[in-house]
Chains A and B, each alone.
Chain A
Amino acid sequence: MAKVPVQFTLNGSDKAEFVDSGTTLLHALRDKIGDTSPKGGCHQGTCGACSVIIDGELRLSCLTLAETCNGATISTTSGLSESGVLHPLQRAFLDTFATQCGFCTPGMIMAAKVLLDHTPNPSRDEVVEALSGNICRCTGYEPIIQAVLTAARSNSQNAA
C-alpha cells in the first residue's frame, strides 16, 4: 500500500515522514522520528504513558493516527528543556523524588504541563483530576502530585 506523507511541528522543528496508513502517532514518533520520550505502555489508551500535547491539548499518541496530525504542533517531554535547563516540571519531579522506574514519567509530565498551561495555580483536586488518566506502578502517586504542586509554586514565584 502506498505510504502517506505526514508533516507536523515537533518540539519546534518541522518533521516530514512517509508512514503506512493506520500508523499511530506513537509509532511514528518513536520508530520513525526517533523521539522515544512517549512510552508505549498499553497501546489501548488506558495507561497514559504515551501522552503528548497536540495543538495545546493532551492526547494519547497510541490512539492517534499519524496521518491525522498533518499541520499539527506537537510537544513531547524530550522538547521541554531549553539549552540544557530543565523545565520546572522536570526539575520538580527530580527534586521531589516523583519518579522511580520512570516509565510513566513523560506521560505524567505532559498531563501536568497541560494542566499548568491552563491553570497555573491548581488545587490538589485539580492536579489529581489532571493525572487521573495516567497509571503509575511505583510511587503511589503522592510524590507526583507534590511534584506538580511544587512546579506550580515555582512558576508563580518566577512570574512574581
Chain B
Amino acid sequence: MAIRRGRGVAAINYPTGMNLGGDPTQALVHSTPTGNFMVTLSSVDLGQGMKQIMAQICAETIGVPTDRVVVDTADTDTGPHCMGTFASRGTHRAGNAVIQAAREARQVMLEVAAEELEVNASDLETDGQGNILVKGAPQKSISIFDVALSAHFKRGRSISGRGMFLIPRSYPEKETGAMKPSTCYAHACTVAEVEVDDETGEVTVLTVKNVFEIGRALNPKMVEQQLVGGSWMGISHALYETTEPYYPNRDHGGTDFNQYLMPGPGDLAETEIIVLERPSADGPYGAKGPGEMCANPQIPAVANAVFDAIGVRIDTLPITPERILRALKAQAAN
C-alpha cells in the first residue's frame, strides 16, 4: 500500500454562448438630464460582475468615466430582450449590444454638442473625463453635463441609443452535419498533480497550473477572480460533486449541504492562473466568455493525473475513493 503520484494535462476549447434558435441580446442606453448614462438590460448579474463590465463598455464607447454609468438589469417583463446569463455569453452578447446602443447615444450627444459649439459633429471628440472637445482646439469644449441639459431643456433631443446583437441560427449542412454553433471560442490548458492513496482510494490534488486564453480581459482583477473560483470548481467536479452518484439511479443523491460534497477551505490545491489575451474579432473590445470555460480543463487533467498515478482509467465522474478502489481491484484481478 502506497501513496502514488501522477501528473496529467488537458487542453480545451470552449464556445462563447450557444446557438439553438438564434441568440439575441438587446440593450438600451439613455442619458439622464445631468449627463449620466443608464444602460437597460434584461441580462442578469449572477455575481460574476456583469453590471461592472457593462458599465465599463458603455463608458468606453460614449467616452465618460465608468462611474457616470448606471446599469439596470431590470427584468424580462420590462427590459430589452436577452436570452439570459448562461453559456458564458453575457459579456460577449450583451457587451456587443451595449456598444451598439452606446454608439448611437454618443452620436446624438455629439450632434447636440456640435449645435452648442457651432461646429461640425465629426470634428468633436471626448476626453473620457466628461467633456467634449473640438479636435485640435481643445480650449473649445463643453461638458457632457451641459450637453445633456441642452438636449433635455433646449434642443428637445433624447440622447439615447438602441443596441441589438444577434448570432443568427446556424443550420447543419445536410451532407456532413457540420454547423457553426458559435463564433468565438475561449481556450484553456491545465496541468494537475495528484496523490492517490491506493489503500483508501483518496485523491489529493497537489497543484493545478492553468493557462486561460480569454480574448481581452476587460477587467483583469474580476477575470482572475472568475478563473481562481472556476479552477476550484473544476477540481470539485472531478473529485467530489454529483447529485447522482449512481447515475441514472437517483439513489444516494445528496439532497442538502450535509450530503452534497463540496471541498471546503481546507481542501485547496495550490493554484496558478496565467491569462493570455488574444482579442476576439467579434467580441466587445475583444472579450470572450471566461465564465464556464474556466471550470472545464481541470476535470480531464485530474482524470489523466489519476491514470498516471495508478495506471487505470476512471471514466465516470466524480472520481471517488470507491471508484478508485474498484478500478484497482479490477486491475489486480486481470
Interface residue ranges, A against B (CB under 8 Å): 41-42, 44, 46-47, 97, 100-103, 127-129, 131-132, 135, 137-145
Question: Nearest chain A CB to B234's CB is how many angstroms away?
Answer: 10
Q: Which of B222, B232, B258, B262 is in CB contact (< 8 Å) with A97?
A: B222
Chain B residues 255-269 with CB under 8 Å of chain A are: 256-258, 262, 264-266, 268
Question: Which of B224, B229, B265 counts the most A-chain CB atoms under 10 A from its CB?
Answer: B265
Tell whether, in the assembled complex, residue B265 and residue A145 are in contact, meaning their CB atoms are under 8 Å apart. Answer: yes
Tell whether, in the assembled complex, residue A138 and residue B47 are in contact, meaning their CB atoms are under 8 Å apart. Answer: yes
Q: Which residues of chain B are near A46, meaning CB under 8 Å?
A: 256-258
- CA separation between A135 and B257, bound complex, in Å? 9
- CA separation between A85 and B129, bound complex, in Å? 27
| In the complex, residue of chain B having the shortest beta-carbon distance to the beta carbon of A138 | B229
Q: Which of B46, B221, B231, B265 is in CB contact (< 8 Å) with A132?
A: B265
Q: Which of B47, B224, B265 is in CB contact (< 8 Å) with A101?
A: B47
Chain B residues 224-246 with CB under 8 Å of chain A are: 224-226, 228-233
Tell whether, in the assembled complex, residue B268 and residue A140 are in contact, meaning their CB atoms are under 8 Å apart. Answer: yes
- CA separation between A103 and B46, bound complex, in Å? 11
| In the complex, residue of chain A having the shortest beta-carbon distance to the beta carbon of B295 | A140
- CA separation between A145 and B266, bound complex, in Å? 10
Tell whether, in the assembled complex, residue A132 and residue B266 are in contact, meaning their CB atoms are under 8 Å apart. Answer: yes
Tell whether, in the assembled complex, residue A44 and residue B256 are in contact, meaning their CB atoms are under 8 Å apart. Answer: yes
Chain B residues 186-239 with CB under 8 Å of chain A are: 221-222, 224-226, 228-233
- Judged by a CB distance under 8 angstroms, whether B316 is at the interface is no
Tell whether, in the assembled complex, residue B268 and residue A142 are in contact, meaning their CB atoms are under 8 Å apart. Answer: yes
Q: Which of A103, A138, A141 is in CB contact (< 8 Å) with B268?
A: A141
Can you list 18 A-B contacts (CB < 8 A)?
A: A41-B257, A44-B258, A46-B256, A97-B222, A100-B226, A127-B265, A129-B266, A131-B265, A132-B264, A132-B265, A135-B257, A139-B232, A140-B229, A141-B232, A141-B264, A141-B268, A143-B225, A145-B265
Interface size class of B (residues with CB under 8 A): 20 to 34
Q: Which of B226, B257, B264, B265 is in CB contact (< 8 Å) with A42?
A: B257
- Judged by a CB distance under 8 angstroms, whether B170 is at the interface is no
Q: Which residues of chain B are near A42, meaning CB under 8 Å?
A: 256-257
Q: Which residues of chain A are near B232, meaning CB under 8 Å?
A: 139-142
Question: Nearest chain A CB to B221's CB is how many angstroms away?
Answer: 5
| In the complex, residue of chain B having the shortest beta-carbon distance to the beta carbon of A43 | B256
Beyond A42-B256, A97-B224, A139-B228, 13 additional contacts (C-beta under 8 Å) are A46-B258, A97-B222, A100-B47, A100-B48, A100-B226, A137-B262, A138-B47, A139-B225, A140-B268, A141-B268, A142-B232, A143-B225, A143-B228
Tell whether, in the assembled complex, residue B257 and residue A140 are in contact, meaning their CB atoms are under 8 Å apart. Answer: no
- CA separation between A129 and B224, bound complex, in Å? 25
Question: Nearest chain A CB to B63's CB is how many angstroms away?
Answer: 27
| In the complex, residue of chain B having the shortest beta-carbon distance to the beta carbon of A101 | B47
Question: Which of A128, A137, A140, A142 counts the most B-chain CB atoms under 10 A from its CB?
Answer: A140
Tell whether, in the assembled complex, residue A144 and residue B229 are in contact, meaning their CB atoms are under 8 Å apart. Answer: no
Q: Which residues of chain A are near B46, meaning CB under 8 Å?
A: 101
Question: Nearest chain A CB to B299's CB is how many angstroms away?
Answer: 15
Q: Which of A44, A135, A139 is in CB contact (< 8 Å) with B229?
A: A139
Q: Which of A44, A100, A128, A137 is in CB contact (< 8 Å) with B49?
A: A100
Whether A144 contacts B265 in the complex (CB less than 8 A), given A46-B258, A97-B222, A138-B229, comes out as yes
Question: Nearest chain B CB to A129's CB is how many angstroms away?
Answer: 8
- Judged by a CB distance under 8 angstroms, whether B271 is at the interface is yes
Question: Nearest chain B CB to A150's CB is how many angstroms away?
Answer: 14
Question: Nearest chain B CB to A74's CB is how many angstroms away?
Answer: 24
Tell whether, in the assembled complex, residue B47 and residue A135 are in contact, meaning their CB atoms are under 8 Å apart. Answer: no
Tell whether, in the assembled complex, residue B265 and residue A128 are in contact, meaning their CB atoms are under 8 Å apart. Answer: yes
Q: Which residues of chain B are near A132, meaning CB under 8 Å?
A: 264-266
Tell whether, in the assembled complex, residue A100 and residue B264 are in contact, meaning their CB atoms are under 8 Å apart. Answer: no
Q: Which residues of chain B are near A97, meaning CB under 8 Å?
A: 221-222, 224-225
Tell whether, in the assembled complex, residue A47 and residue B268 are in contact, meaning their CB atoms are under 8 Å apart. Answer: no
